[in-house]
C-alpha cells in the first residue's frame, strides 16, 4: 500500500483542472496578448478563469491577479506594500506562524532597514488580537498573518484580526497568506483584508500558478516589470493553462467543499485518535478544533522526525517533519518553537495532511505503520528507556 | 536523496543496542542539529570484540552508526582509531552534502568510546 499524506506540501492535480487545461497546453497555444483570434481566445479563457476563481473567493474579478504561486504573491504583497508606504511607514509586523515565503521576505526587508516585529502565537498557534495590536506602531506599513498554518494547521480568526488592525489604524495594509486555507475552508476576505495570497497546487491545481487578491483602491506597485500584463501590475506572458487549471480546481473544491470537508475531517479525526491512542508519549500540535480539515500534526518523544519520515516512506507512507535534521538549515521549524516546543520536542515532529481521495482503510494502515516505526525508532534511541517504555527525560 | 545502501542500513540497522558487559562507552552530541550517538564496546586484548550503538538522529546518522560498527567490529583499537568519516561515507556509497556532518558523529563516538576504555584501563593500573 502507498498512502500519500503530504497534501499540504502539494496535491495531485484534479481531473476537472487537468481536462480544462489540456487544450491550452496543446492546440490553443496563443499568446493572450496577441490580436489574432487564437490569442483573443486565450485572453477570453484567462478572463473567464479570473472571474471563476474570484467568485470562489467572493471577490471582484478585477481584484484578482495571477502570479507564479504563493511565494511570489507573498513577496509581492510585502515588498510592494513597504515600497508604496514610503519613508513615514517602514515597520512590518508578521505572526510567528508564517510560512518561510513571508518570514524570509520580511527578514530580507529588515536587512534593508525596515523594523520587523514578530507577533507571538499561543501554544495552539493562535494569534490573539491583543498581541497583534501590541505590535503595531505609528509607522507600521503592513501586517501579515497566515490564514491557516502549514505546519500545525491552526486556522486564525483572520477577519477579527484584520478588523482589530483597521480599527486601530486604517492606513495599515493587512495581508494574509491563505495558501493552505483557500479551497479547503470557506475563506472570508472581508473589506478589512487588503491582500491575500493563494497557490493552485495546494488545492488540486497545477504547480507554478497562484494569485494575489488586491482589494480595489489598494496601491500596490508591481514586483515584476515588463510588458504590462495583468493591467500593468504583473508582467510576464500569461500562463493561460495555469490560470484555467487554478480556476477549475478552485471551483471543484468550492462546489464540493461541504462534502470534501466532512469526509476529510472524519479521516483526520480517525488518524488523530488512532495515533494518539496507539503511540504512547505522542501529542497533537496545533489547535484541536480550529484546524484545517485534513491536517494532523504530532510530536513523538525520543524520536527524530527525519528518520521517522524516511522509514515511513520505505513502508509506503509519504509524510513530512519540521525537525532540525529534515531542514536544509538544520534548525528546527520556527513555528514549532513559537508554540513553545523545545528543540528536543520539535525533533520528533510529524505532519500528515490528508485529502478527500484518502480512505478510512488507508488511515488505519497509516496509524499501524506509525506505531511500528515509532516503536522501532525508539528502540534505537539513546533518549528512550526501553525497559520502562518511556523517554529518559520525561517530556 | 539517500543511496539504497543508506536506506538499507537505516531500515535494518546492524549492531543496534547496548553491549551487555561493555568496558568502553562513548556518547557524543552534534552541535549542528542536536543529535546524540552512543557507542558501547567490549574490548579485549586491544581488539573490539563487540560493539553496539544507539542513535537519536536522522536516517544518515543511523546508517553511519550502523555501518561504522560493522567496520570496527573485530578490529584492533588502533585500526578503529584510523576509521575516518570519509571511509564511512564511502562505504555507504555517498551521502547528500548537508548530511556529511552526521557521519562525523560516528567517527567521534568510536574515538570517545576508545578514549573511555583507555581511561578506565589507566585507572585500574
Ligand atoms: S543527525 Fe541531524 S541531520 Fe543527521
Cell of A316: 509506503
Give residues (CB < 6 A) around ligand 1. Answer: A 325; B 30, 33, 35, 57-58, 60-61, 99, 102
Q: Average pLDDT of chain B?
A: 94
Neighbours of A137 (CB within 10 A): 14
Hey, of A303, A306, A376, A395, which one would you mutate to test binding to chain B, going by the most B CBs within 10 A of its CB?
A306
Please state the pTM of the whole predicted model: 0.95
Distance A309 CA to ligand 1 centre (A): 13
- Tell me the C-alpha distance between A338 and A116, whole Å: 16
Q: Is the Cα dihedral A301, A307, A309, A313 positive or negative? A: negative
> What phi, psi does A124 have (nearest 5°)?
-100, 0
Query: Which residues, listed in sequence order, are joined to residue A211 by a DSSP beta bridge?
Result: A66, A198
How much is the ipTM here? 0.93
Weakly modelled stretches of chain A, pLDDT under 50? 394-395
- Average pLDDT (B26-41) is 88
Residues of B in contact with A303 (CB under 8 A): 56
pLDDT at A395: 47
pLDDT at B31: 66
Buried/exposed code over B94-111 (b: 16+ C-beta within 10 A; e: otherwise)? ebeebbebbbbbbbbbbb
pLDDT at A331: 86
Distance B37 CA to ligand 1 centre (A): 11
Q: Touching check for B54 and chain A: CB below 8 Å?
A: yes
Per-residue confidence band for B124, with pLDDT thresholds at 50, 70 and 90: confident
pLDDT at A328: 79
Q: Is pLDDT larger for residue A330 or for residue B63?
A: B63
Q: Whose CA is nearest to atom 2 of ligand 1?
A: A325
Closest by CA position to B112, among listed B28, B34, B15: B28
CA dihedral of residues A325, A331, A334, A336 (deg, nearest 10): 40
**Residues of A carrying an active site annotation:** 325
pLDDT at A257: 97
Amino acid at each position: 500500500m502507498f498512502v500519500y499524506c503530504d497534501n499540504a506540501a502539494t496535491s495531485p492535480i484534479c481531473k476537472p483542472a487537468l481536462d480544462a487545461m489540456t487544450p491550452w497546453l496543446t492546440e490553443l497555444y496563443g499568446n493572450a496578448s496577441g490580436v489574432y483570434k487564437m490569442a483573443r481566445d486565450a485572453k477570453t479563457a484567462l478572463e473567464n478563469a479570473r472571474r471563476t476563481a474570484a467568485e470562489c473567493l467572493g471577490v471582484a474579478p478585477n481584484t484578482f491577479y495571477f502570479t507564479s504561486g504563493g511565494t511570489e504573491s507573498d513577496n509581492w504583497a510585502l515588498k510592494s506594500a513597504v515600497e508604496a508606504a514610503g519613508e513615514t511607514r517602514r515597520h512590518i509586523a508578521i505572526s510567528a506562524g508564517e510560512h518561510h515565503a513571508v518570514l524570509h521576505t520580511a527578514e530580507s526587508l529588515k536587512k534593508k532597514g525596515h523594523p520587523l516585529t514578530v507577533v507571538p502565537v499561543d501554544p495552539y498557534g493562535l494569534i490573539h488580537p491583543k498581541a497583534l495590536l501590541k505590535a503595531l506602531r505609528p509607522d507600521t506599513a503592513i501586517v501579515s498573518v497566515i490564514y491557516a498554518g502549514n505546519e500545525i494547521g491552526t486556522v486564525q480568526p483572520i477577519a477579527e484580526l484584520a478588523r482589530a488592525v483597521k480599527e486601530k489604524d486604517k492606513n495599515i495594509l493587512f495581508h494574509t497568506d491563505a495558501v493552505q486555507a483557500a479551497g479547503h475552508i470557506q475563506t472570508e476576505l472581508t473589506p478589512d483584508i487588503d491582500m491575500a495570497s493563494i497557490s493552485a497546487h495546494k488545492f488540486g491545481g497545477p504547480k507554478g500558478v497562484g494569485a494575489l487578491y488586491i482589494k480595489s483602491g489598494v496601491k500596490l506597485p508591481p514586483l515584476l516589470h515588463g510588458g504590462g500584463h495583468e493591467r500593468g501590475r504583473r508582467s510576464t506572458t500569461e500562463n493561460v493553462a495555469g490560470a484555467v487549471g487554478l480556476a477549475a480546481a478552485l471551483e471543484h473544491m468550492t462546489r464540493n467543499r461541504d462534502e470534501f470537508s466532512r469526509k476529510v475531517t472524519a479521516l483526520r479525526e480517525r488518524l488523530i485518535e488512532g495515533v494518539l491512542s496507539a503511540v504512547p508519549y505522542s501529542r497533537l500540535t496545533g489547535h484541536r478544533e480550529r484546524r484545517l480539515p485534513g491536517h494532523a500534526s504530532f510530536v513523538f518523544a525520543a524520536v527524530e522526525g527525519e528518520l521517522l519520515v524516511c522509514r515511513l516512506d520505505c513502508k509506503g507512507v509519504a509524510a513530512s517533519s519540521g525537525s532540525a535534521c529534515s531542514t536544509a538549515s538544520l534548525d528546527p521549524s520556527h513555528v514549532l518553537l513559537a508554540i513553545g516546543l523545545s528543540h528536543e520536542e520539535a525533533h520528533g515532529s510529524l505532519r500528515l495532511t490528508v485529502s478527500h481521495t484518502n480512505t478510512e482503510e488507508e488511515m488505519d494502515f497509516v496509524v499501524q505503520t506509525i506505531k511500528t516505526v515509532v516503536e522501532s525508532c525508539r528502540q534505537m534511541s539513546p533518549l528512550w528507556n526501553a525497559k520502562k517504555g518511556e523517554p529518559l527525560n520525561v517530556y | 536523496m539517500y543511496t539504497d545502501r543508506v536506506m538499507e542500513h537505516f531500515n535494518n540497522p546492524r549492531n543496534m543496542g547496548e553491549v551487555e558487559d561493555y568496558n568502553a562507552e562513548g556518547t557524543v552530541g552534534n552541535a549542528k542539529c542536536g543529535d546524540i550517538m552512543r557507542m558501547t564496546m567490549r574490548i579485549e586484548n586491544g581488539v573490539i570484540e563487540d560493539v553496539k550503538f544507539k542513535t537519536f538522529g536522522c536516517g544518515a546518522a543511523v546508517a553511519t552508526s550502523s555501518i561504522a560498527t560493522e567496520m570496527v567490529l573485530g578490529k584492533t583499537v588502533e585500526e578503529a582509531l584510523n576509521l575516518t568519516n570519509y571511509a564511512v561515507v564511502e562505504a555507504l556509497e555517498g551521502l547528500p552534502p548537508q548530511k556529511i556532518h552526521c557521519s562525523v558523529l560516528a567517527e567521534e563516538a568510536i574515538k570517545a568510546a576508545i578514549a573511555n576504555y583507555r581511561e578506565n584501563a589507566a585507572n585500574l593500573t
